[in-house]
Amino acid sequence: MLKFIALSGTVSVTENLYVYETDGKMMIVDCGVGFPDLEMPGVDLVIPDFSYVVKNKEKLIGIVLSQGHEDHIGALPYLLKEVNVPIWSTPLVTDFLKDKFKDYGVDNFVINTFNPEYDDFEVGPFKVFPFRVTHSVPDTVGFAIDTPEGRIFHVPEHKMDQNPVDGMKFDVERAKKLANQNVLFLASDCLGANKTGYTEGERHIEGNMFNIVEKAKSTVFMTAISSNIGRFQQMINVAEKVGRKVIFIGRSIQKKTEIAYNLGILKYKTNTVISMKDAERVNKDKLMYIVSGCYGQVGSSLYRIAIDEHERVSAERGDTFVFSADPAPPYTKESEDFVIDQLIDKGVDVHYYDLKENLYVSGHGSQSDIKDLFNLVNPRYFIPIGGAIRYMHSYKKLATENGVNPSNVFTLKPGENVIFENGQAKIGEKIQVKAVLVHGLGVGDVGKVVLGDRAILGNEGVVVVIFKLDRGGKIIDFPEIISRGFIFEKISKDLLDEASKRLKRQVEKKVNIKKSIIHGVTLDYLGKFFFQKTGRRPMILPVVVEV
C-alpha cells in the first residue's frame, strides 16, 4: 500500500508539503511557508501543521526538496526542531539551506546534494530519480519515484521553456526515459491551469528592461523575488551593457546572489557588483540598485526606500524603478500597490505590472505546458498540487479533455490523502490539520482567539475600566475608564463619565460585590451601553484593585 498525503499546499500557492508513506516508512517532498492573509494581523508566517509527522516521526526517513523558493523550503527550520532526518537537494538549494539554517540556529542537519542530470538515490523503500525542469529559480527539479506500488511522478512546478535564461531547460529526454513504463500517478503544478497556450519564455524581458534603463537619466532601481536568480542575471546583463555598477540591497538578495555567483550560476564581471560604500563615489547615472522586498512587505528594503526610512539609500525625483514581479501570491497586491504609489508620488519613474510592459513572466506552466506533461508521463491517476481550488478544478478539466476519466483525478484539500493498492486508488481517512501561525519567536501560540482579539482591537479599540475597592470590599469613587482607538478623545470625556456613573450604580445593585461580579457586570453592561451609544463594540478590560 502507498499513501500520498497532501498535508498542505493544495488550496493556496504556498506551504507545499507532501508525504509519501509505505511499508511503515515516510518521505516528505518539500516543506514551505505561507504568508498571512488580511485576517491575520501581526502574523509573520504561516507554516504547515507538522502534528501528523511528529506523531509518526519514527517512520520519517528523509526529506526531498524540489527547488529553492521559500514556499518549498522555508518551513524546514521549524520542522527540524521536531525531527532530524537527512535532506536531499540540488547544489543551489543546499547552499540556500545552509545559509538559512545558520540564521535560525539549526546546526544538527545532514544534506545530501544530488545532480539531477544523472544522480538517483534511495530514501528507504523509495528510489528517487530527479530530472531538471524550468522554473523561476535555477536548479528546480521534478521527481520520478519508484514505490512498492509502482513508479509515480512528482513535479511541483514547471514550464516547458527550452531556452531559459539560466540554461537549465526542462530535461525532456531524461523525463521521457523515466516515464517509459506504466506510471501510477502524476502529482503536478496546477497554478497555470486557467491560462491558455504555453507560458512564454523569459528572454525578451532583458530587452524590455534595456529599453527602459538605456533612457534613464539618474539612479535605476530594480526588484524581483529574492530567489529569482535568472531575473537578476538579466538585470546585471543590462547594467553591463549600459555601463552601470550594481549594488544589491537587502540581506536575502545579497546572500542568494552571492551563493549563485559562487556556484557559477550567476555570472558577471568582477568589477560590476560593488558595495554601498563604493556606490557613494559613483555618479547616480551610473548606478543600478537591485532591491529585495518586491511585494512591498513591511520592513523590507523596498518598503523602507519607498517611505524614506532606509538608512543608506533613497529614491528621488527623476530616478527610475522597475518592478519585475507581479503580485501573484495571495494578499500581496495591496502592499505592492502601496510602495508603487509612494514612489510615483516622489516623482520616480515607476515601471510596474499595470503598465503591461512585459517585465515579468510566470514560472508556472499554462494549459499547453500542463498537457505536454500529461502526455509525456501518461499516468493512470492525476493529483493537482500547488494551487487554489479553482486551479485544481481547471487542471481536472484539462485532464478529462485529454481523455482521462474524471474519477481518476483527485483534488485534495489539506490533510486529505489517496491510498494506492494493487493498482487501484481510493480516498483515505482525512488527517486533521490547522494553520500554524508564526509571530516573532512564537510558533503556534497565535490562534483564532488571539486573532479575534486583534481584530477587535484593530477595528473597535479597547476600553480599560479600573475599579478601586477598600479592604471591606466597598467601591471607592467612580471607576476610571480609559479608552484607546475607540472614540475621538475630545468627545469621549462626557460619554466615559456617563458610562462610569451608570456602571457604578449597576454594580452597587448587587448584594455581594466580588471581583467576578464586577467583571461580569462591566462586560455585560458596558458592552450594551457602548453599542447603543456608538454602534461599536470595543474590547472591554475590567481591572479591580484593592487600596
Question: Amino acid identity of 530?
Answer: F
Q: Which three cell numbers stand for residue 198?
A: 504555453
Q: In the structure grid, which three cell numbers stand for residue 486, read together?
A: 475607540
What sign does the CA torsion over 58, 59, 63, 69 have? negative
Residue-wise pLDDT tens digits, 428-452: 999 999 878 776 655 655 566 665 6
Strand order in the sheet with 141-147: 121-123, 126-132, 141-147, 150-155, 183-189, 379-385
Residue spans in the chain of domains classed CATH 3.40.50.10710: 203-355
CATH code, residues 2-198+362-443: 3.60.15.10
Measured in degrees and rounded to the nearest 5, phi and psi for residue 249 equal -115, 125
Contact 430, 506 (CB under 8 A): no
Nearest CA to 97 out of 70, 136, 137, 130 is that of 70
Alpha carbon distance 318, 217 (integer Å):
7
Binning the chain into helix, strand and coil, the percentages to the nearest 5 are 35, 25, 45
- What positions carry a catalytic annotation? 189, 364
User: By three-state DSSP, how is residue 243 classified?
Assistant: coil
- Cα 336 to Cα 354: distance, rounded to the nearest angstrom: 12
Tell me the C-alpha distance between 340 and 457, whole Å: 29
Reported pTM: 0.85
- How much is the pLDDT for 491? 63
- The reported pLDDT for the residue numbered 511 is 66
Output the CA angle 530-536-542, nearest 5 degrees.
50
Which amino acid belongs to residue 51? Answer: S
Euclidean distance between the first and final Cα of the chain, in Å? Answer: 70
CB atoms under 10 Å from CB of 516, counted, come to 10
pLDDT in the model for residue 44 = 73
Strands (DSSP E) found in 295-453: 320-323, 349-351, 379-385, 417-421, 424-427, 436-439, 442-443
> What number of CA atoms fall less than 13 Å from residue 232's CA on the CB side?
33
List beta partners, residue 418.
4, 427
- Residue 122 exposed, middle or buried by CB count within 10 Å (0-12, 13-18, 19+): exposed
* Strand partners of residue 150: 147
Give the CA angle between residues 137, 141, 145 to the nearest 5°. 160
Q: How far apart are CA 96 and CA 70, in angstroms?
A: 10
d(CA 198, CA 243) in angstroms, rounded, equals 35
Query: Can you list the residues of the chain whose pLDDT is less than 70?
Result: 36-43, 330, 439-456, 489-491, 511
CATH no., domain 461-546: 3.10.20.580
- Please list the residues that pair with 30 across neighbouring strands: none
Secondary structure in 3-state letters for 414-481 = CCCEEEEECCEEEECCCCCCCCEEEECCEECCCCHHHHHHHHHHHHHCEEEEEEEECCCCCECCCCEE
Whether 322 and 222 have beta carbons less than 8 Å apart is answered as yes
* Listed residue (27, 41, 30) closest to 8, CA to CA: 30
Range(s) of the chain covered by CATH 3.60.15.10 = 2-198+362-443
In three-state secondary structure terms, 133 is coil
**443: phi then psi, degrees, rounded to nearest 5:** -120, 115
Residue 62, beta-bridge partner list? 27
Q: Grid coordinates in use for 388?
A: 487554489
**Residue limits of CATH 3.10.20.580 in the chain:** 461-546
Output DSSP code: residue 482: E
**Is 149:181 a contact under the CB 8 Å cutoff?**
no
* Cell (9 digits) for 256: 542568494
Q: Is CATH 3.40.50.10710 what the domain over 203-355 is classified as, yes or no? A: yes
pLDDT at 195: 96
